[in-house]
Amino acid sequence: MLTIRNLSIKYNKKTILQGFNLELAHGEIFALLGDSGSGKSSALRFIAGLDEVHSGSIVLNGKSLSNNGQHQVSAENRDVGMVFQDYALFPHMSVEKNIAFGIHHLSKNKKNARIKELLLLVDLSGVEKKYPHQLSGGEQQRVALARALAPNPKLLLLDEPFSNLDQKHRENLANQVKDILKKTSTTAILVTHDEAEANKFSDRYGIIEQQQLKDKK
């Protein structure tokens, strides 16, 4: 479903990843571990198309997204959703506007129906008109997840989406998100610092060590 071969990432002259390989099956949840600065967020940025890949190839659902710097598909055309740790939502937009962000091509009725459906999925029905600051951290992260899922991405990338929550809320939300991903058969990569979380959340996880991905489970 997703195949990454021989990805290398360099910033200036510094090599961050070298010969990074990853293969994911449809609907599989993979967790990515590694020390701070090991290149986890960088790997997600390249998969999402936010940075250009110069070396290596990425194929998603049979479609080449990047091949040694050639035929680079732009981020908007990748069918890849992303949830970040910070700046998860646009603060000046209501919940419904946030979720509608990636589905403007839909008619008004279809858009509203999709927003309702997603809020039901993340168990937040009725908050359409609220603003992010009127929601708790965990609720905001669930809205961010709804926004990322709205366009039906083929692949969802989650960069430490639970790290600003306390232990209890973190575990609850991680469980909820896992259920939602399984229910929607969404293929996903979760970046986390926490091996226990990786183990619980994912079907399989790996760790970045010495610029490469080592499979753990």
Ligand X SMILES: Nc1ncnc2c1ncn2[C@@H]1O[C@H](COP(=O)(O)OP(=O)(O)OP(=O)(O)O)[C@@H](O)[C@H]1O
- Draw the binding track, 52-91, toward ligand X (x: CB under 6 A; -: no contact): ----------------------------------------
Buried b (16+ CB within 10 A) or exposed e, 81-103: bbbbbeebbeeeebbbbbbbebb
Q: Which of 7, 24, 28, 34 binds ligand X (CB under 6 A)?
A: 34
Nearer to ligand X, 34 or 138 (CB): 34
Interacting stretch for ligand X, rule CB under 6 A, among 40-48, 62-70, 96-104, 131-139? Answer: 40-48
If one asks whether residue 49 binds ligand X (CB under 6 A), the answer comes out as no
Which pair of structure tokens corresponds to residue 36? 């701070």
Report DSSP letters for 89-138, one per residue: S-TTS-HHHHHHTT-TTS-HHHHHHHHHHHHHHTT-TT-TT--GGGS-HH
Q: Which of 57, 192 has the CB closer to Mg ion?
A: 192
| Cβ within 8 Å of residue 91, ≥6 positions away | 131, 132, 133
CB 79 within 8 A of CB 155: yes
Q: Could you say whether residue 38 binds ligand X (CB under 6 A)?
A: yes
Task: Say whether residue 36 binds ligand X (CB under 6 A).
Answer: yes
- What track of x and - describes contact with ligand X for positions 2 through 21 (by CB under 6 A)? ---------x----x-----
Two tokens at 1? Answer: 């479903």
Cβ atoms 146, 119 nearer than 8 A: yes
**For residues 37 and 126, which CB has a smaller minimum distance to ligand X in the complex?**
37
Give me the least distance between CB of 40 and Mg ion, in Å please.
Answer: 5
The answer to the question of residue 187 lying near ligand X (CB under 6 A) is no
User: Rule CB under 5 A: which residues touch Mg ion?
Assistant: 41
Least distance (Å) between residue 194 CB and ligand X = 11
Point out the residue whose Cβ comes nearest to Mg ion.
41
Q: What does each C-alpha distance from 115 to 16, 25, 100, 104, 106 come to in angstroms? A: 39, 28, 7, 12, 11
Binding region for ligand X (CB under 6 A):
11, 16, 34, 36-42
